[in-house]
Chains A and B, each alone.
Chain A
């Protein structure tokens, strides 16, 4: 199809392009909230046998917003919950840019937690600055290793990262359990758990829970943006994702770049795990597990793999997590609604063809890898290594 862009005024095309970038994510969130509203009403009347209340969704969403953003306290807890989503989301997003579908954020996150707690226990009595730096680095390195291995496998044998990262997720889970029960088990503890991270605990700077990891996560946004859009390495990452053949002609070595990108992605997810251990839980037990790694995939997709978009998406998800409890207390709507809405957002993002039709949007012209393409390309089509 011809696009008569030639001669089209530049201002108009910028507006069109910005709209075509944000329309789908905005609409996906909106549609998820609409469907969520219907489910709130239905489940309240049909399951909980409450009187029919058409205003309940408004009450619930208001409580959700109030709980996430309504006070200084609420806002800080939103930031705390945003932190791991943001870091891991950036990792997944950078992978998407290179055309890699890194499902392994979960495993990399867990390994980051394991790495940081192992280092922290070792440095428990060292000066705080050293203990913290070493533990954060420990988490990043462990996470990077969990990205490096699938990257190396893809580069050397062509093994698809979707398969290998899922395997690595299970290995991380098993490793975590063994470490907590075995080498790092705190002597005398009733249920298996590691000792407290001691000196490596992240200082609290804001309110009661606002640890320093929040600043690290938000500082990572401009760094990731600079890496992608202002360095030659970032150019190579985006080039390999957008057209591997042309990238090869341009002199990029795709294999090396895949290993590098997966390692960077892993280190970011690992840092997310480290921040959670050192800033929030301060120790690890066998049930240490969150859905951060998987949620970060949705975050990266919702943010269209753009660091700024990922930041906004992570804030949204963080606020919903923070507001879920208050919503249950004040509106009587179970916290699980938040999971439901997140899942709906993912569904509408993936089914963006439907949204496009609703909005009468054509394919986004000039968009780089935004994740959707990476996912669709992950199956069926040959990947060039």
Chain B
């Protein structure tokens, strides 16, 4: 973008030989990183590679064992977040740190309140400054809107606004696009470019190769705590970056192979489901999926996908319509009944429905089967059997953990997801319901999970895949359904579907093509 490509004599930020050791692991091993004024610098690496540790050091949340941090050429010590903020360093975390019931303005000024006098806030002045900042960087935001009423993309902008309000010069964004739709991502990128033009320096943490190539001026790849390489987007490609990141040859697109269809495993007829506020989120869905088939549902997040999936697995009431599993009517059945019909479910929010973070891996791996043999005899748990099964699945699914007894929350995101997958893919599944199965995961984990999905499908499981990543749907699906405003508006053949066509259907619902659902459902 605007960054001068010749390193200027004095970088805005320089981290020299940063080393951080934790018992048993060197999270950062002599990492060098420099950031020019007005540069967007991507930090690329798998989960657990040490990106976050490095940024925590920069933000004063961790103290390095060795190394130096220089700002504008002057060595500094950062004692804590407050210190970092005072030096113009700001960070947006992957999970937003906003207070839902407060307004945009209140959230933005939190911690740096603009006072009218020693007692009262100067809300008017705060609102004015927020409007001015937003306008300067080309977006609109109502300072009085409550955070909970905003879309995820808008919340992201509030986070960025918070940094700008405090006049941050070095902005660190940790996986800022993990929760955004493609168009929201575009808008954030536009904003980041404007910020860079304004002379601010940005560290962009990600493991999404496409995005990194699109937005960054430079890319530093980190693996196992060391810097593996530095590239400019013009002189590299996705494949090379992926290999640098993972440390081996990576297959970016899963080999789908052939499978043969068996009988219908899931059938939906005129399904209606309400959302939490009582509005109709799913408005008449008809669908059939056969064994050995992956049906991908493409759609912008919030078009009823989550409600559809939750109704399927018994977590949400069906308002009208019927659900059959393998010919059996399971409308209104409990989650346990559905689970016992050999249905696996990977939820979009693994922290909510997928895992009990405070519980050890062992308990999480038997979360849906803890009550029956071999894991329990009568009311008494069989700890031995639970531990043995956990050990087996941990090695089978390559879950990286020091022990099966540690709480699930100590694992990285990728390993947490593998934990859910290990549990839900186990045994003879007839149907797999996958809601955003690879959201927020790194290349290695995505490759692993995609391979497992295809294995299951080849073994005769029917797979329902919901994903906001259009690429993922295009890559895995035998058939693609497009969901728009609670309805499946089109069915397409996965081998021949065109990405632009699907994108258009996602955005508009393909006005007028309403006949295609009936046709698709019958195929």
Contacts and interface: CB of A to CB of B under 8 A. Distances in A.
Contacts of B22: 4, 8
Contact of B359 (A7, A242, A253, A365): A242
B491 interface: no
Interface string B35-74: 0000000000000100011001000010000000000000
B134 interface: no
A250 B355 CA distance: 10
Contacts of A250: 335-336, 367-368, 370
A329 B313 CA distance: 67
A379 interface: no
A79 B305 CA distance: 59
B278 interface: no
A231 B379 CA distance: 5
Contacts of A9: 23-24, 402
A8 B20 CA distance: 13
B402 to A, nearest CB: 5
A12 B23 contact: yes
B402 A13 contact: yes
A145 interface: no
A5 B410 contact: yes
Contacts, number: 120
A245 B376 contact: no
Nearest to B52: A2
Contacts of A233: 379
B251 to A, nearest CB: 25
B368 A251 contact: yes
Contacts of B336: 250-251
B339 A251 contact: yes
Tell me which of B22, B334, B347, B411 has the highest count of chain A C-beta atoms within 10 A of its own C-beta: B22
Interface in A37-61: none
A239 B366 CA distance: 12
A179 B335 CA distance: 47
Interface of B: 22-25, 27, 48, 52-53, 56, 61, 313, 315, 334-336, 339, 345, 347, 352-360, 363, 367-368, 370-371, 376, 379-381, 383, 400-403, 406-407, 409-412, 415
Tell me which of A4, A6, A230, A367 has the highest count of chain B C-beta atoms within 10 A of its own C-beta: A4
A366 B371 contact: no
B23 A8 contact: yes
Nearest to A246: B356
B383 A246 contact: no
Q: Which 6 A-B pairs have the closest CB atoms?
A: A251-B336, A366-B407, A2-B52, A5-B410, A7-B25, A9-B24
Contact of B383 (A230, A242, A245, A367): A230
Contacts of A238: 359
Given A245-B352, A366-B360, 18 more contacts: A2-B56, A5-B402, A6-B48, A6-B402, A7-B402, A9-B24, A13-B23, A232-B371, A239-B356, A246-B353, A248-B335, A249-B315, A249-B353, A249-B367, A250-B367, A250-B370, A251-B368, A368-B359
A245 B335 CA distance: 11
B339 A235 contact: no
Nearest to A380: B101
Contacts of A253: 334
A357 interface: no
A190 interface: no
A367 B61 contact: no
A77 to B, nearest CB: 37
A2 B222 CA distance: 16
Interface string A348-367: 00000000000000000111
B402 A235 contact: no
A253 B53 CA distance: 40
16 contacts: A2-B412, A4-B48, A4-B53, A5-B411, A8-B24, A9-B402, A13-B23, A232-B380, A238-B359, A243-B358, A246-B356, A247-B356, A249-B353, A249-B354, A366-B358, A366-B406
B402 A246 contact: no
B400 A239 contact: no
A13 B358 CA distance: 15
A366 B363 CA distance: 13
A146 B506 CA distance: 55
A43 to B, nearest CB: 37
A106 to B, nearest CB: 29
A110 B354 CA distance: 42
A4 B61 CA distance: 13
Contacts of B347: 249
Contacts of B381: 230-232, 235
B364 to A, nearest CB: 9
A250 B379 CA distance: 16
A1 interface: yes
A345 to B, nearest CB: 25
B315 A2 contact: no
A231 B410 CA distance: 25
A248 B313 CA distance: 11
A365 B407 contact: yes
A3 interface: yes
B313 A249 contact: yes
B411 A242 contact: no
A2 B91 CA distance: 14
A251 B335 contact: yes
Contact of B379 (A12, A13, A232, A365): A232
B368 A7 contact: no
Contacts of A6: 25, 48, 400-402, 410-412, 415
A249 B345 contact: yes
A248 B339 CA distance: 12
A50 B38 CA distance: 72
Nearest to B350: A246
B375 to A, nearest CB: 8
A10 interface: yes
Interface in A205-256: 230-233, 235, 238-239, 242-243, 245-251, 253
